[in-house]
A and B are shown apart, each in its own frame.
Chain A
Amino acid sequence: MPRYLLHRIAQAAFTLFCVLTFAFVLGRATGKPAGLLLPDNATAAEVDALNGALGFNEPLHVQFGAFLANVLAGDFGQSYRQREPALDLVIERLPATFELAFWSFLLGLVLALAAALAIQLTGSRTLRSLFIWGGSLRQSVPDFFFALLAVLVFSVALGLLPSLGRMSPASLVLPVLTIATGQFVLYVRLMDAALSDQASQDYVRTAFAKGQSRARVLVSHMLPNALLPVLTMAGLNLGSLLGGTVVVEAVFAWPGLGQVLTDAVSQRDFPIVQAGLLVVALIFVTVNLAVDLLSAKVDPRVSLA
């Protein structure tokens, strides 16, 4: 187990190094930033001087070395626009993103679980078609469009819920609903398939042979086995949600990671982009490791040697 963890941490470090290199290359490939930072009427000499001051006139390998050294010291540089440490600007957005991601993830998963269990308990094909058709229909509508429709109905027409910002718990409702309903069908499909597969397993028959009730067999024997494949996909989804849901955050003006990153990209504020990419990568790597550890906890056959 400690060896496994060490191995995984080394893997994670390599992944993060790749992400950093990628971010560095992208930042440099689009030219030097001084022109953006100075007023339009700045002279070429002034631009060159600022680029020099920022270190952009050094050879690339020297720049990369300095960049890595700074990152290791926790310094991603100042945001070009806001003149504040880039990492701080990214990190202050995390609570908003985590809040949105957590509730969306939970709601999507819980709705899907309830639907899948209902399908199994009733054995109703109509119910299955209903959930899968409805979910697919929702999923086939792009998130931004569904979000706009939701705003139109709940904010504009009914005036029930706020359409923008992060002022009160009520502001969470529409963005969470948008993301959760979009993910719903993925989970329903997966859980329904996994549960139906469980239904023909021998150990399920054994449980019935003991005289166990259908509901108990479903919950204590079928569900834990069926959730193993769901866990992997849920982990990937959670990772991408925690990395910021760009489109939904944009529509609802949700002050999260996705928003700060899209703004930074459009303004070519590369210190923020670099810090943001690293944070997102770190979240992904952590969630994936957590999922692997959790799978091993649930399934005694998985060994982490």
Chain B
Amino acid sequence: MSPAAESRIPLLQVQDLAIEATGDAGPVRLVDGVSFEVHQDEVFALVGESGSGKSLTVLAIMDLLPPGVRVSAGRILFRGRDLTKLPERDLRRIRGKDLAMVFQDPMSALNPLQRVGRQLAEAVKLHATGLNRKQTAEKVHRLLAAVGVPDPAGRAAAYPHQWSGGMRQRAMIAMAMAHDPALLIADEPTTALDVTVQAQVMDVLAAARSRAGSAMILITHDLGLVAEAADRVAVMYSGKVVETAGVRDLFHRPAHPYTVGLLASVLGEGTAGGRAFTIPGSPPAAADRPAGCAFAPRCHASLDQGTCTTTAPLLELLPTPPAGAHGPGHPAGPRAAACHFAGDNAGQLLLKGQQA
């Protein structure tokens, strides 16, 4: 662990977070013991398949879990205060001000019956006192201009259905940045958009974030985006964090077999004929996770290894990579993986598994 990373007090600490849904057959654990930290100024990526619990994790941070789903254990410390214990009134003061979120689908995230400007004005006024109507409108126009919306005053007077998807996501970003939040959460901000505008919107998001000096949690399953934008990464699988690492470590020396598989499926490593690698099988449903490691049934490294099916691996620190493995200005940070056989030879095992 580098001294620089150690000395900083994290902006957000998620500790042993568990999220449960009330089901007919008792509660189902959707997120199980997730821990991570987000530091000031940092872009932290949460990666994983659909249903791995990454969206629920950030919704829990915002206290926006859907009805019937609740935080059942753990702490969410934001600037040292546990958000899970905070009364609603205090939470509301933080939400939209210090803690803001951009959602996945800009098509449905705006109220269809209200002009876009009015919806931004609502966000502005909630945490700013003493603004009159004109000042609020001006602030809204400034926010829209800052995310590259042409003719902000004209567009603000239009209804969401008169906006394109990319522009709507810009409006959502403008709304989230209304009060320069300390932490911005972006839940697959470009997944629902046209491929042609994804990069633009991502640029707008990155620019807005760096202007405000916000830290960001970026949820995505686009590993290309992670490589481009993130400082550190946590990989989630079936409700658990299976690996965390600095972005370079993750791409160059993935430690968990699942991470290896994910990378291979994008990079097309270890395959013949130019076809991308796919991890066999599909993730287990939350209600019937296997005993031991949830990834074991799909794992190329767990062939004939009994421990995997009996004991759930814990997220454990891995040895620090040799100095100089990273470029300047990229603190390595701790690497951790939840695998009995985690290590730098995980990639070789994948190749073996493919041939078998």
Contacts and interface: CB of A to CB of B under 8 A. Distances in A.
Query: A and B: real partners?
Result: yes
Contacts of A224: 113
A208 interface: yes
Contacts of B122: 207, 210, 212, 220
A200 interface: yes
A209 B94 CA distance: 10
Interface string B223-249: 000000000000000000000000000
A207 B161 CA distance: 18
Given A209-B101, A300-B113, A203 B159 contact: no
Interface in B6-42: none
A201 interface: yes
B96 A202 contact: no
B46 interface: no
Interface in B178-225: none
A225 B113 contact: yes
Given A202-B109, A298-B113, A210 B126 contact: yes
Contacts, number: 70
B94 A202 contact: no
Contacts of B123: 210
Interface residues of A, number: 22
Contact of A202 (B92, B100, B108): B108
Nearest to A222: B111
A207 B112 CA distance: 13
A208 B67 CA distance: 13
A211 interface: yes
A7 interface: no
A203 B108 contact: yes
Interface centre among A200, A201, A211, A300 (most CB of B within 10 A): A211
A221 interface: yes
B78 interface: no
B113 A299 contact: yes
B94 A211 contact: yes
B43 interface: no
Contacts of B109: 202-203, 205-206
A301 B159 contact: yes
Contacts of B110: 203, 206
Interface in A125-172: none
Interface in A210-235: 210-213, 220-221, 224-225
Interface in B67-114: 67, 92-97, 100-101, 103, 105, 108-114
Contacts of A220: 122
Contacts of A202: 103, 105, 108-109
Interface residues of B, number: 30
B127 interface: yes
Given A225-B113, A301-B159, A211 B126 contact: yes
Contacts of A298: 113
Nearest to A228: B113
B175 interface: yes
B66 interface: yes
A201 B92 CA distance: 19
Given A210-B123, A212-B126, A205 B112 contact: no
B56 interface: no
Nearest to A205: B64
Nearest to B94: A211
B62 interface: yes
A299 B95 contact: no
A199 interface: yes
Contact of A205 (B96, B103, B127): B103
B103 A206 contact: yes
B159 A300 contact: yes
Interface centre among A200, A210, A212, A224 (most CB of B within 10 A): A210
Contact of B92 (A199, A205, A211, A300): A211
Contacts of B119: 206
B189 to A, nearest CB: 13
A210 B101 CA distance: 9
Contacts of A299: 112-113
Nearest to A298: B113
A210 B159 contact: no
B103 A210 contact: no
Contact of B64 (A203, A209, A225, A300): A209
Contacts of A206: 103, 109-111, 119, 172, 175
Nearest to B96: A211
A203 B111 contact: yes
Contacts of A208: 64, 95
B108 A211 contact: no
B108 A201 contact: yes
A298 B159 CA distance: 12
Interface in A30-72: none
Contacts of B105: 202
A210 B111 contact: no
Contacts of A210: 95-96, 122-123, 126, 175
A213 B96 CA distance: 12
Interface string B113-132: 11000010011001100000
A209 B100 contact: yes
26 contacts: A200-B67, A201-B108, A202-B103, A203-B112, A205-B64, A205-B109, A206-B103, A206-B109, A208-B95, A209-B96, A209-B101, A209-B103, A210-B122, A210-B126, A210-B175, A211-B94, A211-B96, A211-B127, A221-B111, A221-B114, A224-B113, A225-B111, A299-B113, A300-B159, A301-B112, A301-B161
Interface of A: 199-203, 205-213, 220-221, 224-225, 298-301
Given A206-B172, A206-B175, 13 more contacts: A199-B67, A206-B103, A206-B110, A206-B111, A207-B122, A209-B96, A209-B101, A210-B96, A211-B93, A212-B122, A225-B111, A298-B113, A301-B159
7 tightest CB-CB pairs across the interface, nearest first?
A211-B96, A202-B108, A210-B96, A211-B95, A300-B159, A203-B111, A210-B123
